[in-house]
Chain A
């Protein structure tokens, strides 16, 4: 089984609110000096891939986009957890690409990697939550697509996947090749890497492909169809008001206010 897992590096979603900032020029989150982690569901996708490999054998390739130097930690972690090979697409546009653009670059990289049975990615990224990369990859690669997958199993050559639904799950049989977007459940919590594997991961080769070398990734051609016009931090305000009068008057005033606010 040849599996490719797409890993996105995002600014730690647990970053203290004080350190969260938006660069007004790029309309993107400021990443400098902030810890980067693998986007939450992408780690679940990697875990699902590694479990399948543990059971049926094969190869797991970790794929990420990011300017050189930045991609390192995610790739090393993936290798330490058990990925066999790693590819980082050196992306001069930084990390500000939208899902549509990312899917295009990833498609080109996957084509260059070549053979694959499965492509896994997180069901949504921890920063932009667009949920489009999986389906767009499937479209571009002419592969089957299932979203919100929590478990996969190979039985008699057929891939059985569990797709989370509102009140339960769907059990689907999928033909290969397929692109699956993965959500979390108790069976796919990312494993801790063994220390020995962390140390060997440091020596495993990582292929770094300049984005310009990948065909069909030019972003200058047709526009992605989506443009970020503005990003703003939600403003939270708190106001305190003392109602005048004695207790009875205060109760009456308060009741009226709450009614006005439709809270009563």
Chain B
């Protein structure tokens, strides 16, 4: 009796110490997160709960990597189920042989627990195999000590648990033993042992089990394992903005533009940083990183965390400024920040739903607006946007040059139309994109759609300026366009350009411009469904579709272009390994169309090699920027697959029919 009391008191004391250490560390992290500014508007609760179920309980994103996905799934669910054994182990400190009420003594529950002990151990085995034998590149940037530490601790907890259960069966023959198939095997090892010896093993493994758990508790707030605690709030507190929309900045009244110090980010950015488990999936899928560039989306998070933990405490203590390396320029070089294509591959992949693009754009905002330091060719694009409302220096084409000989209504000439065809600079000012535009107009007219254009009165939506960090210029252009659209009473817009589509749809509402916006592939798919466009002919070619980032990942539209292609008789479609959510950027996003891709391999050439791997004769696109990049890359790499817009392909099938 006295021994039980003493043991109970000792366990309580240890628990109090361990919990105290953990809470202290967690409180500091909470305060570090709150160093960030807010508020961040939250998404509707339903969406957040859905994400929680799908991404945490069902592991939807983690499972995209089969091996590490399944191992994590085992360990995660093992952790949930085996919480019951942890509670029971603590209970035994006070009442020997104590089990959870109702289920604790049930053989089926013991069976379940045993199953998960095995699954967790299998998970550990897969993890060790991955780290020691497979060695995926994405794990190279991780802190190996922390990773092996946690694997060791979990193994320790499982082994001591099995020993506790096995010896308990030998000593007490509890009711639950009937279901504990695995624990009974362990018990078998002690069959011939003296009762006293088994008692010693039982005591040692029980204490070891408890102590490892308590140490684990104090250690969770360190490094990547914090995600055990931060991931759920990070998903629950996810921001309301659609992925494709960047945050609106009140340029006139903000006391600083963008972020140049770690304390300039929002609290949600900081929570992201502490939710990162350093899995490296973001870096693995990053088109800049995988072509040999400096940008590393994981390092974005780990280095922000390092700086926050380093200078945060002093800032919390009221130090106005703390000496440290400059965030922009030193921690993250300017090259690092300008290499981001804002393609969203990292965001799509992140199991913690972290937002990489927002943080990079915040730092670009600092560079572009506070320091006016922008790579020269991008600066030329910005100057051109300012002077003539489009970013293509030396274009020399009129905005409606493509429409010569096409009967499309001109709203500035006083004509009225139900639909506005938003042309976009990349299409209007680059001759290669004139054919897709003309094809689109022919298709829409074949479907008897009433379409008009703004001609000279259309200006760039501001997408490149915004993504280069010049929010001021973006808002100037957007306000000008909204004024024009209001003046002509435009309500329905169709556009060939996913960048314009994204900006008009998600970003103009931030400034009061609300329209029904369709990407041309969506409208064409609908018109085909309604029977208003009937593809004919037989385009006997193999086509692979390149998903534009701003149509796919940023707007979730993967099917419409495929439906259009699928409707063309005779067209055989093949998919690239990197398609849909896993699509690989053409190299033009994030304003990088205006930056020569000089470091490592060219992103566009790598994309063309993906096309070549399919053996397709045609690479279909649905974006004028992708078109320009893929055309150049096809010429440079002597690829035989021709880039053609989905509208061009559909129009050809109709034209063949007309013959």
Contact = CB atoms under 8 A, between A and B. Distances in A.
Interface in B554-611: none
B252 A199 contact: yes
B398 A195 contact: no
Contacts of A189: 376
Nearest to B365: A195
Contacts of A93: none
Contacts of A190: 383
B529 interface: no
B39 to A, nearest CB: 24
Nearest to B369: A195
B226 to A, nearest CB: 37
Contacts of A195: 251, 257, 368-370, 372, 470, 472
Contact of B387 (A37, A191, A193): A37
Interface stretch (A9-17, A129-137, A250-258): A9-17
A17 B370 contact: no
B371 to A, nearest CB: 7
* Among B251, B370, B372, B384, residue most surrounded by chain A Cβ atoms (within 10 Å): B372
B382 interface: yes
Contacts of B368: 192, 195
B388 A35 contact: yes
A12 B374 CA distance: 23
Contacts of A192: 368, 372, 374, 379, 382-383
Contacts of A14: 384, 388, 393-396
Contacts of B5: none
B228 interface: no
A141 to B, nearest CB: 31
A35 B372 contact: no
A50 to B, nearest CB: 12
A196 interface: yes
Contacts of B401: 16, 18
Given A189-B376, A192-B374, A196-B370, A12 B388 contact: yes
A260 interface: no
A192 B257 CA distance: 16
B472 to A, nearest CB: 4
A84 B382 CA distance: 24
A19 interface: yes
What bracket does the count of chain A residues touching chain B fall in?
A: 10 to 19
A195 B472 CA distance: 7
Interface string B287-328: 000000000000000000000000000000000000000000
B397 interface: yes
A205 B368 CA distance: 26
Nearest to A190: B383
Contacts of B369: 194-196
Given A37-B387, A192-B374, A195-B369, A16 B251 contact: no
Given A14-B393, A192-B374, A19 B398 contact: yes
Interface string B348-367: 00000000000000000000
A33 to B, nearest CB: 8
Contacts of A12: 387-388
A191 B372 CA distance: 8
A198 interface: yes
A192 B376 CA distance: 10
Interface string B461-495: 00000000010100000000000000000000000
Interface string A224-262: 000000000000000000000000000000000000000
B470 to A, nearest CB: 7
Contacts of A194: 369-372
Nearest to B378: A192
A17 B398 CA distance: 8
B11 to A, nearest CB: 61
Interface string A180-191: 000000000111
B594 to A, nearest CB: 13
* Among A37, A195, A196, residue most surrounded by chain B Cβ atoms (within 10 Å): A195
A191 B373 CA distance: 9
Given A16-B401, A198-B472, A35 B379 contact: no
A16 B397 contact: yes
Interface in A196-217: 196, 198-199
A102 to B, nearest CB: 22
A16 B396 contact: yes
A17 B395 CA distance: 10
A12 B257 CA distance: 30
Contacts of A193: 372
Contacts of B257: 195-196
Nearest to B370: A194
Nearest to B473: A195
* Among A18, A190, A191, residue most surrounded by chain B Cβ atoms (within 10 Å): A18
* Among B387, B389, B395, B397, residue most surrounded by chain A Cβ atoms (within 10 Å): B387
B64 to A, nearest CB: 40
Contacts of A198: 472
Contacts of B371: 194
A223 B457 CA distance: 42
Contacts of B387: 12, 35, 37
Interface string B223-263: 00000000000000000000000000001100001000000
Contacts of B251: 195, 199
A190 B387 CA distance: 14
B554 to A, nearest CB: 26
A17 B372 contact: no
A191 B371 CA distance: 11
Nearest to A19: B398
A18 B370 contact: no
Nearest to A197: B372
A200 to B, nearest CB: 12
A194 B251 CA distance: 12
B412 to A, nearest CB: 11
Nearest to A194: B372
A76 to B, nearest CB: 11
A189 B398 CA distance: 27
A10 B401 CA distance: 23
Contacts of A17: 396
B406 to A, nearest CB: 16
Nearest to B399: A16
Nearest to B251: A195
A196 B251 CA distance: 9
A191 B380 CA distance: 10
Nearest to B394: A14
A16 B398 contact: yes
Interface of B: 251-252, 257, 368-372, 374, 376, 379, 382-384, 387-389, 393-398, 401, 470, 472
Q: Would you list the 9 A-B pairs with minimal beta carbon distance, nearest first?
A: A195-B369, A16-B398, A192-B372, A194-B372, A195-B472, A18-B398, A35-B388, A37-B387, A192-B379
6 contacts: A12-B388, A195-B369, A195-B372, A196-B369, A198-B472, A199-B252
Given A14-B395, A189-B376, 16 more contacts: A14-B396, A16-B396, A16-B397, A17-B396, A18-B401, A37-B387, A192-B379, A192-B382, A194-B369, A194-B370, A194-B371, A195-B369, A195-B370, A195-B372, A198-B472, A199-B252
Interface of A: 12, 14, 16-19, 35, 37, 189-196, 198-199
